[in-house]
Amino acid sequence: MNCRNCNIAINYNYVTDCPQCGSAIEQGDLPKLDPSTGQSDWSHHLANIILVLLTSVAGMVSGAVVLYFSAAVLYIALASPETYPGEHCGRGMAVGMLSILAGGFLGTVGGTAFGLKHSVKEMPRACPVESHVGS
């Protein structure tokens, strides 16, 4: 919008008087916000929090399962465990538990990143309504 006295463009987000001539702006000259756009603010946040929690849990479970079976296949192929119980049994158990923990952690991080990047609802935006007072 422009100043009424000197017709210079003013950014009303930061100043309330004209930097050129110093005249104060009346409240009626400021842009008005449409009051109907900010009513569902809490539903936006709640829907996105639920989405992030669900994607992080799904990522945790799927990451743990995928990494556990991948580690099992690699351990069997590379270590060729023996058929009788021994120290390789403990080593295999350690590899299995570590793969479940690492897969759960990586899946949680990936699921959370996915949930944050793909929101359910877009945040409602307030559109300024031009005021034509005194026209």
How far is the C-alpha of 58 from the C-alpha of 42, rounded, in Å? 24
* CA-only gyration radius of the chain, Å: 30
Count of H-run helices and E-run strands, the chain: 2, 2
Does residue 99 belong to any structural domain of this protein? yes
Query: Which one, of 53, 21, 70, lies nearest residue 120 by Cα?
Result: 53
Quote the tokens at residue 9: 């463009």
Among the listed residues 135, 21, 15, the one whose alpha carbon sits nearest the alpha carbon of residue 7: 21
- Is residue 94 situated within a structural domain? yes
**3-state SS assignment for residue 41:** helix
Instruction: With respect to residue 126, please indicate whether it lies within any of the assigned structural domains.
Output: no
| pLDDT tens sequence across 86-133 | 777 788 888 899 999 999 999 999 999 998 888 776 655 555 544 444
33 found inside a domain: no
| Assessment of whether the complete model's pTM goes beyond 0.85 | no
Please write the tens of the pLDDT for every residue from 41-98: 777 788 888 999 999 999 999 999 999 999 989 888 887 767 777 777 788 888 899 9
Structural domain range at position 72: 38-117
55 in a structural domain? yes
Q: Domain for residue 69, yes or no?
A: yes
Q: What stretches of 1-135 show up as alpha helix (H) in DSSP?
A: 41-79, 87-117
Split into its structural domains, the chain has a count of 1
How far apart are alpha carbons 68 and 105 in whole angstroms? 12
Residue 16 in domain? no
Query: In the numeric block, which tokens belong to residue 119?
Result: 């929101």
